[in-house]
Amino acid sequence: ATKTGNSKWISNEESRKFVHQLRHASDAIMIGIGTINVDNPMLTTRLEGMSGKDPKRIILDSRLSISEDATVLNLKSASETIVVSGQEPISCCGLKIKAQRSFNCRSKTGGLI
- Give the start-to-end residue ranges of the domains of the chain: 31-104
Phi-psi region of 94 (alpha: psi -120 to 50; beta: other; left: phi over 0): left
Residue 90: predicted pLDDT: 55
Burial class (CB within 10 angstroms; exposed 0-12, middle 13-18, buried 19+) of 94: exposed
In this structure, whether the domain defined by 31-104 belongs to CATH 3.40.50.720 is answered with no
Least Cα distance to 84 among 109, 54, 51, 107 occurs for 107
Residue 70: predicted pLDDT: 92
Q: pTM of the entire structure?
A: 0.76
Residue 89: predicted pLDDT: 58
Residue 99: predicted pLDDT: 61
Which residues in the chain show pLDDT less than 70? 1-3, 5-10, 87-103
Spatial separation of the C-alpha atoms in residues 56 and 23, rounded to whole Å: 9
